[in-house]
Amino acid sequence: MAYMDISQVTYRVADQGTNILTEVSFSVEKNDFLTLAGPSGGGKSTILKIMAGLISPTSGTTLFQGADISTMDPALYRRRVSYCFQQPVLFGETVKDNLSFPFEIRKEKFDPVRAESFLSRVDLPASYMDKKISQLSGGEKQRMALIRNLLFPPQVLLLDEVTTGLDEASKGIVHQLIDSVKKDGVTIVQVTHDAQELEEAGRIIHIVEGRVEE
Ligand code: ADP
Ligand code: MG
């Protein structure tokens, strides 16, 4: 039994004749750094969303540590397996509104020291806590969205093209963060088109037209 088992996953939406995913199977071992690659529209984001429990497959299963994720409490599962969107989803008005959210859902008191230490890990000063979301650059928004997912480290981190469109400086900072998260023992599955990331990737699974390409 692998850490995560994606088994015979097919995904179809009602108004479309063709499958978005067809019998996709692969496994993820603990401490893996797995890369999903392939052409745009191939189904990579759909796979990550299924692994994150955000959508349910038409057929097939995802097992996490041997348990079918469809039988697990969704809120608890999402704390263990965390999905970072291709386009960061931010809310509220300020950086603090976003960084306090992970504490709120766990009914914990906001810890500003912890939040500031994570800001510094992505090269953002503590003064950013009160900064308005609307004043952040694209790279700063993505960096903040990432640390929001990491304030309470998950067991598995699903990264959906989180460096796409970032300037080189932001990209470097994000790579450093991902490296340190990996060293902390978090299992990572990433989707990327980035040439450098593909070159440095270990195991790559190619997804083409909704299937794993052998
Ligand atoms: P990738 O991330 O590899 O670019 P996606 O997983 O985003 O691919 O999408 C795969 C295909 O499925 C695309 O053609 C997309 O338009 C389609 N698709 C994804 N989700 C839905 C949905 N809820 N309804 C209809 N089509 C969808
Ligand atoms: Mg995608």
Q: Which residues line ligand 1 (CB under 6 A)?
A: 13, 16, 20, 40-46
Q: Are strands 21-28 and 67-68 parallel, antiparallel or unpaired?
A: unpaired
User: What is the tens place of the pLDDT at every residue in 11-35?
Assistant: 999 887 799 999 999 999 999 999 9
Distance 88 CA to ligand 1 centre (A): 18
Q: CB of 36 within 8 A of CB of 191?
A: yes
Distance 142 CA to ligand 2 centre (A): 16
- Compute φ and ψ for 142, nearest 5 degrees: -65, -40
Mean pLDDT of the 173-191 span: 96
Token pair of 46 as six digits: 């759909």
Q: Which atom of ligand 1 is nearest to the CA of 210?
A: 10
User: What is the tens place of the pLDDT at every residue in 184-214?
Assistant: 999 999 999 999 999 989 899 999 999 999 7
Distance 98 CA to ligand 2 centre (A): 24
Task: Note the pTM of the prediction, 2 decimals.
Answer: 0.95
Using alpha carbons, select from 190, 191, 158, 154 the residue that is nearest to residue 75. 154
Q: What is the number of helices (H) and of strands (E) in the chain? A: 7, 10
Handedness of CA 44, 47, 53, 54 (dihedral sign): positive
The alpha-helical segments, DSSP class H, found in the chain are: 44-51, 74-80, 95-105, 112-121, 138-150, 168-183, 195-200
Q: Which atom of ligand 1 is nearest to the CA of 15?
A: 25
Residue 41, pLDDT > 90, answer yes
Dihedral of the alpha carbons of 40, 180, 154, 150, in degrees to the nearest 10: -90
User: Which of 46, 51, 85, 86, when mutated, tests ligand 1's pocket best, judged by the most ligand atoms within 8 Å of its CB?
Assistant: 46
Distance 45 CA to ligand 1 centre (A): 7
Report the alpha-carbon distance of residue 183 to residue 3 in Å, rounded: 17
User: Which of 9, 19, 20, when mutated, tests ligand 1's pocket best, judged by the most ligand atoms within 8 Å of its CB?
Assistant: 20
